[in-house]
């Protein structure tokens, strides 16, 4: 009876198991083909995943796989050597898409990171920033009461834009003195 039920079980799962295995093989061949197409090396997929596995198993600290993957994508775009091309992942892409769709607006400044802090490198003509009195050369101190010390440009940019017809309170340092603007 044991052999008979084992044989019956095998007959029931053999065909679906064959479909699953065939599907997995097709998927792996397709992935290898895509990696080969884009890199010109048939082993590139294995190199990529082997490198990831080595990092994960031998790196002394915990590894954030998403950060590694994002880093790989940033690296791909970075190898272009084009200062106008950048990888935007996750929230940065969502923010950029929202900004391009017109649902969010900025105050109309160009910003740069300097040793002194976040510099207003330029003010767009006719912008809310120009109307409020911001000037090229101002150093941003705070946004809505929160210091920008240690902020990256992306953080500052995110915090000085929002839905159209809303306001933001800024404090800037100009000629050694702090001034407030809305």
Which pair of structure tokens corresponds to residue 145?
Answer: 């009461």
* pLDDT given for residue 141 in this prediction: 93
- pLDDT 10s per residue in the chain (182 long)? 556 688 888 888 888 888 889 999 999 899 888 888 888 888 888 888 899 899 989 988 888 888 888 888 889 888 998 877 888 877 777 766 765 655 556 888 888 888 888 888 888 888 888 999 999 999 999 999 989 898 888 888 888 887 778 889 999 999 999 999 99
Q: What gap in Å lies between CA 145 and CA 168, rounded to an integer? A: 10
Nearest to 168 by CA among 151, 148, 153, 182: 182
What are the backbone angles phi and psi of residue 36, rounded to the nearest 5°? -65, -45
Are 181 and 133 in contact by the 8 Å Cβ rule? The answer is yes
Give, as one character, the DSSP assignment of residue 137: T
User: Which ranges of 40-64 does DSSP label H, i.e. alpha helix?
Assistant: 44-58
Are 102 and 165 a contacting pair, CB within 8 Å? no
- Sign of the CA dihedral 55, 60, 62, 67? negative
pLDDT value, residue 69? 86
What is the structure's pLDDT at 159? 85
> What is the structure's pLDDT at 99?
59
- Residue 98 confidence (pLDDT): 63
DSSP bridge pairs for 122 = 110
Render pLDDT for 42-58 as a digit per residue (tens, 0 to 9): 888 888 889 989 998 99
Backbone angles phi, psi at 112, to 5 degrees: -145, 155
Gap between the Cα atoms of 60 and 30, Å rounded: 34
Cα–Cα dist 103/161, whole Å: 10
Signed CA dihedral, 74, 79, 80, 84: sign only:
positive
Which tokens hold the place of 112? 């740069």
Query: Which structure tokens are listed for 58?
Result: 């031998």
- Tell me the C-alpha to C-alpha distance, in Å, between residue 123 and each of 107, 120, 165: 9, 7, 18
């Amino acid at each position: 009876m044991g052999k008979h039920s084992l044989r019956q079980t095998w007959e029931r799962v053999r065909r679906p198991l064959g479909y699953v295995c065939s599907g997995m093989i097709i998927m792996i061949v397709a992935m290898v083909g895509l990696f080969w197409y884009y890199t010109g090396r048939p082993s590139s997929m294995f190199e990529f995943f082997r490198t990831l596995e080595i990092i994960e198993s031998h790196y002394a600290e915990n590894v954030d796989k998403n950060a590694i993957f994002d880093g790989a994508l940033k690296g791909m775009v970075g190898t272009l050597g084009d200062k106008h091309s950048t990888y935007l992942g996750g929230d940065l892409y969502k923010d950029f898409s929202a900004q391009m769709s017109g649902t969010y607006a900025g105050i109309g400044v160009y910003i740069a990171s300097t040793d002194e802090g976040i510099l207003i490198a330029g003010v767009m003509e006719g912008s809310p920033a120009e109307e409020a009195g911001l000037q090229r050369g101002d150093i941003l101190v705070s946004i809505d009461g929160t210091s920008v010390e240690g902020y990256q440009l992306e953080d500052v940019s995110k915090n000085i834009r929002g839905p159209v017809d809303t306001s933001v309170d800024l404090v800037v340092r100009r000629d050694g003195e702090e001034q407030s603007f809305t």
